[in-house]
Amino acid sequence: MWSMVVSVPLLPAVVMVLGRYRVEVAALSHRALAWALRLLRGAPCVRSAHAFVFSNCTHGKVDSVLETFDLYADTHPSLCISPQIAEALDAAVKRVRPSRVLELGMHCGYASVRLLRLLPPAGRLITVEMDPLAGELGEEVILVAGFKPSQFQVLPCSSAEAIPTLHPFLESDDGTGDGLDLVLMDHDPQQYLPDLLALEREELLSASGCSLLLIYRNQRAEDHREILDHIRGRPGSYCIGSELQFMLEISYRKEKHDGI
């Protein structure tokens, strides 16, 4: 009773504060809700995803590995790309037909397996994962799916550390090498622009054309803005292929007399 009497005069002040800071309050509530949902469903666990896939899939069968991952994601929290993103990713890879692919953020190897199954026999995937346990378990999943070590390379470090070391992985047997045909970024949206700049600086994007697929799981406009500003400022090198709610596809082509 007393608490009601004391709190009623405070109501206008509370309403004013809520009105003034409504964006911040909404963001805070969104985070609290996400946190509560995470508590209820449990945190995504790479060990549990790996154990489920390893013991339930048919070893050596790519489709079985992917289906078992999907089954896992139906009943457990999972960081793997959703079926909707997977479909868009497959469509982009089939269109681009890349030979040399870089994936940033491998996690448990689900998207790596999806990518590898669409590469030509001489194609190669380089995949980067900063969590050493995820890197180890993801690599095992790729092998379980039936791919050979000559078809892929797992780099267990951060994207910023990996990018300057990529040149030797892109060289052909004769010592020459064009750059990457496709880059999938699904690691940390804050890192997308710095990593793109590093890929440009190191001249790792194929001069004849490279597609960059950027995954956005939280659909926050500010995540896109910086990278879109960069791309729009370089119309000679970049164009936006498609801008889905969860995936941004950018095409890169080295501009003549680019100056980079």
Per CB under 6 A, residues contacting ligand SAM are: 79-81, 104-105, 107-108, 110-111, 128-131, 134, 158-159, 186-188, 191
Report in angstroms how near the CB of residue 188 gets to ligand SAM at its nearest. Answer: 4
100 or 107, CB closer to ligand SAM?
107
Q: Assess contact for 133 and 46: CB atoms under 8 A.
A: yes
- 126's CB contacts (< 8 A; 6+ apart) are 100, 101, 102, 103, 152, 153, 155, 166, 169, 170
* Structure tokens belonging to residue 247: 């995936």
Which lies closer to ligand SAM via its Cβ, residue 176 or residue 218? 218
Residue of minimal Cβ distance to ligand SAM: 105
**CB of residue 79 vs ligand SAM: minimum separation in angstroms?**
4
Complex with ligand SAM: residue 110 or 147, whichever CB lies closer: 110
Neighbours of 218 (CB within 10 A): 9
How would you classify the pairing of strands 238-243 and 247-252? Answer: antiparallel
| Nearer to ligand SAM among residue 178 and residue 226 (C-beta) | 226
Torsional class of 8: left (φ above 0), alpha (ψ -120 to 50), beta (otherwise) = alpha
Query: CA–CA distance from 170 to each of 11, 48, 113, 124 (Å)?
Result: 64, 33, 19, 9
Closest approach of ligand SAM to the CB of residue 177, in Å: 23
Name the residue nearer to ligand SAM (CB basis): 110 or 252.
Answer: 110
Q: Which is nearer to ligand SAM, 67 or 131 (CB)?
A: 131
Smallest distance, ligand SAM to C-beta of residue 100, A: 18
Q: Which is nearer to ligand SAM, 110 or 216 (CB)?
A: 110
Least separation in angstroms between residue 115's CB and ligand SAM is 9
Minimum distance from residue 231 beta carbon to ligand SAM (Å): 20
Q: Smallest distance, Å, CB 9 to ligand SAM?
A: 48
